[in-house]
Amino acid sequence: MAQGSLNKATLSGSSTNDNRKVDNFARRQKLSQHRRSLPIATVERRLIDEVRKNDILIIVGETGSGKTTQIPQFLFNAGFCKEGKSIGITQPRRVAAVTVAKRVAEECGVELGQRVGYSIRFEDVTSSSTRIKYMTDGLLLREALLDPYLSRYSVIIVDEAHERTVQSDVLLGLLKNVQIARSKSNGHLDTETNKPKNGMVLEKENDVQSSIFLKHDQGKKFPPLKLIVMSASLDARVFSDYFGGAKAVHVQGRQFPVEIFYTFHPEPDYLDATLITVFQIHLEEALGDILVFLTGQEEIESVERLIKERVLQLPENNQRLVIVPIFSSLPSEQQMRVFASTPAGYRKVILATNIAETSVTIPGIKYVIDPGLVKARSYDPKQGLESLTVVPISKAQALQRSGRAGRDGAGKCFRLYPESEFDKLENSTKPEIKRCNLANVILQLKALGVDDIIGFDFIEKPSRSAIVKSLEQLFLLGALTDECKLSDPVGHQMSKLPLDPVYSKALIVASEFKCLQEMLITVAMLSVESMFYAPRDKLDEARAAMKFFSSPEGDHLTLINVFRAANEFMEKKSLTCGKEKADKILRKWCKENFINSRSLRHARDIHNQIREHVQQMGLRIVSCGDDTLNFRRCLAASFFLNAALKQPEGTYRTLASGQMVQIHPSSVLFQKKPECLIYNELIQTNHKYIHKITRIDYLWLTELAPQFYSMQS
């Protein structure tokens, strides 16, 4: 009898395994069929030939053509990873690096982290056997600190180059130098004509000289580096010109017609207009998923809550909506939800930042809602003022957004602005390097050995005033010597931390003030979007919850209180019910306390990673305990460039730039109005607000930052 049961169980297990094999085979067949149907598949042989003939190649392909997932596989299969070499593919955003790597690993039928992997800030999923590696632009720049010739790579692909992020622009300058230096090392460069013997034509005599910062070991030879620059923008001239007339190859995409709708008048409340349009489409249009473009995590989560509330007011048969957010700081397993199939009879509503314009291709989109706005960095070098502001998108971005609706079939795009407003938009987005603080870029270039920042071969040079202002900032932070070299040890320590220079310096200062434990938490919490949220219908409850954590000294200690309370809660629950269940209970605790659980989780991950970096640097992690005075003095010594003084009428004047600002209503010090404070955020809407603030004593500034305040009147 027992034997009979065993045989039955064995047969049952065998049947399950067989079903799994059939499912896996069907999945592989479907993936293979999808790959063959991509526009890029028709030009595989031609692309391989062009890469072999040209050391530098520009590939222009519309989003959805398959260039990001397929070209690395073409190159791998064509033998570009012999002798242990790798293919590196950079992305401007972490989400894209992670999601694309997972997809390619699945297409290759390998475990993620083996042949195919990814590496982003604070997360490395690679191994010694990784040959196709997706990463962020900034990660490859950091790799160059340890390996200036990027010797492990035979091919580097810079994807989404049209986005013109500051990191990708600097990376192109670095790769141009690396490519010349590697060609020079093995005689691949014709020094008489200043031309590599294969591909790039050097326009300027100093192009070869500009690679001098790469200290070459005369006895060492490097194989030539193949460089592919990929863009979704049809205008590739800027890249071709930069690389001396490099060849550009155009790959046709697959685009169905998209009907464009405009509003008659500008919308006074674009979020309200977005909600109305979502439900209008849901109730009046045929099935198909909706992609909504919003400006950031806070907006996305606000709209997500409102849709979930309002859908419950519809008849039951109209409640079949699946809401899926996607933004850069979302945990990777939650990001993957956008690619999951929509259940039969349901409609998926994807709430996304501009990441969904070109970085990721989401299947099933039939409708796009475009409010025409994006959150962008702006920088005024004269006043040293950097801020994140919501600004109109460019025509190029508007076209990319509407194009999302036409990948799988005919679609519709609802632009929440009049056509006359579209006509006024700029043709393309201003490169980020021309509208941001360059301190981090300069610190990285200095660490790479670039002494002449102004003479560095940028694809488009930032203004001289922006470079000078950022050099001044690094000097005031103690990162540079009088000769503009990296200082020892502070400058070298700062360059090793993958953080904004101000935060890197704060951690170093905190080790001296014996409050590094508190500063680690502070920097992690400052690195994520809003920690608290306040629904319109529960404002009083949200304020009461925030009051429970709030410190009379300011926002920084309030954030520390939240982090520690969450950790304490998790530790207790993990002991009694295990980590997985504790995670679920923590999300419930966050909801009850109006804390953003996604932001908190992201901050905890960042904290763990920064802690490792700091330990490797040999800095002592100790706590100041209840000595909040010492911690506030440390904040003043760290963020002295962000100090503000109260004015008679109750507003504040920033001491570094002389800007008139107000305390943001969400700060715990909004009603308190201390005489002097430091801040970490300047938000520009109709007014200029400062946020993430702590009260300090004005006299501390001259004591703790004499290098700056002795020059001030």
Give mean pLDDT, residues 125-129. 95
Mind listing the pLDDT tens digit for each residue in 93-126? Answer: 888 899 999 999 999 999 999 999 999 987 899 9
Give mean pLDDT, residues 539-557. 92
Planar angle of CA 203, 205, 206, nearest 5 degrees = 110
Q: Specify the amino acid at residue 357.
A: E
Distance from C-alpha of 243 to C-alpha of 245, rounded to nearest angstrom: 6
- Contact yes or no for 384/467 (Cβ under 8 A): no
Count CB atoms within 10 A of the CB of residue 574: 16
Query: Looking at residue 461, what DSSP letter applies?
Result: P
* Residue 660 pLDDT level (bands cut at 50, 70, 90): very high
Query: What is the torsion angle, in degrees rounded to the nearest 10, for the CA atoms of residue 114, residue 116, residue 120 and residue 123?
Result: -20
* Start-end of H helices in 501-578: 501-512, 516-526, 539-549, 555-577
Mind listing the pLDDT tens digit for each residue in 637-653? Answer: 999 999 999 999 999 99
Mind listing the pLDDT tens digit for each residue in 314-352? Answer: 998 899 999 999 987 777 777 788 888 899 999 999 999
Give mean pLDDT, residues 568-573. 88
Q: Specify the amino acid at residue 649.
A: E
- Which of 553, 554, 493 has the alpha carbon at shortest distance from 526? 554
- Which of 229, 220, 236, 153 has the alpha carbon at shortest distance from 185? 220
pLDDT at residue 227 in the model: 98
Distances in whole angstroms, Cα of residue 33 to Cα of each of 38, 44, 73, 575: 9, 15, 15, 48
Question: Residue 372 is encoded by which pair of tokens?
Answer: 């025409």
- Contact yes or no for 644/661 (Cβ under 8 A): yes
pLDDT at residue 27 in the model: 76
Pick the CATH number of 39-251 from 3.30.565.10, 3.30.70.1350, 3.40.720.10, 3.40.50.300: 3.40.50.300
pLDDT at residue 534 in the model: 80
Domain boundaries defined on the chain: 39-251, 258-430, 497-638, 639-713
DSSP string, 570-590: HHHHHHHH-HHHHHHHHHHHH
pLDDT at residue 18 in the model: 62
Distances in whole angstroms, Cα of residue 103 to Cα of each of 97, 134, 363, 400, 712: 10, 11, 13, 22, 55
- Which of 633, 607, 440, 410 has the alpha carbon at shortest distance from 524? 607
List CB contacts of 95: < 8 A, sequence separation 6 or more. Answer: 326, 327, 328, 330, 332, 335, 355, 359, 360
pLDDT at residue 123 in the model: 84
* Residue 710 pLDDT level (bands cut at 50, 70, 90): confident
List CB contacts of 160: < 8 A, sequence separation 6 or more. Answer: 91, 92, 93, 96, 168, 230, 231, 232, 358, 359
- Contact yes or no for 673/638 (Cβ under 8 A): no
Pick the CATH number of 258-430 from 3.40.50.300, 3.40.47.10, 3.40.640.10, 3.40.980.10: 3.40.50.300
DSSP string, 187-223: T-EETTTTEESSSPPP-STHHHHGGGGS---TT---P
pLDDT at residue 20 in the model: 63
Better pLDDT: 131 or 254:
131
- Contact yes or no for 261/215 (Cβ under 8 A): no
Give mean pLDDT, residues 667-694. 90
Helices (H) and strands (E) in the chain, counts: 26, 23
Tokens 């002449």 found at = 452
Distance from C-alpha of 96 to C-alpha of 228, rounded to nearest angstrom: 18
Q: Which residues pair with 653 in a beta bridge?
A: 645, 660
- Which of 548, 532, 520, 551 has the alpha carbon at shortest distance from 598? 532
Distance from C-alpha of 176 to C-alpha of 161, rounded to nearest angstrom: 14
Distance from C-alpha of 240 to C-alpha of 4, rounded to nearest angstrom: 73
Give mean pLDDT, residues 349-358. 90
**pLDDT for 688 beyond 60:** yes
pLDDT at residue 647 in the model: 96
* H/E run at residue 493: helix 490-496
- Which of 494, 512, 510 has the alpha carbon at shortest distance from 502? 494
What is the residue-averaged pLDDT of the chain?
Answer: 88
Mind listing the pLDDT tens digit for each residue in 73-84? Answer: 999 999 999 989
* Residue 217 pLDDT level (bands cut at 50, 70, 90): low
**Among 19-33, 284-298, 357-371, 576-590, where is mean pLDDT lowest?**
19-33
pLDDT at residue 11 in the model: 47
Better pLDDT: 360 or 234:
360
pLDDT at residue 199 in the model: 55
- Contact yes or no for 644/561 (Cβ under 8 A): no
* Residue 429 pLDDT level (bands cut at 50, 70, 90): confident
Q: Report residue 406 CA to chain centroid gap.
A: 26
- Contact yes or no for 97/54 (Cβ under 8 A): no
List CB contacts of 452: < 8 A, sequence separation 6 or more. Answer: none
Q: Report residue 679 CA to chain centroid gap.
A: 23
Give mean pLDDT, residues 266-279. 96
Q: Report residue 322 CA to chain centroid gap.
A: 25
Mind listing the pLDDT tens digit for each residue in 481-528? Answer: 999 999 999 999 999 998 999 999 999 999 999 999 999 999 999 998
Distance from C-alpha of 631 to C-alpha of 509, rounded to nearest angstrom: 11
Torsion region of 552: left, alpha or beta (phi above 0 gives left; psi -120 to 50 gives alpha): alpha
- Strand ranges, E, within 19-115: 56-61, 86-91
SS (H, E, C) 347-366: EEEEEECCHHHHCCCCCCEE
Tokens 């800030």 found at = 121
Q: What is this structure's pTM?
A: 0.85
Same fold, 39-251 and 258-430: yes
- Contact yes or no for 556/522 (Cβ under 8 A): yes
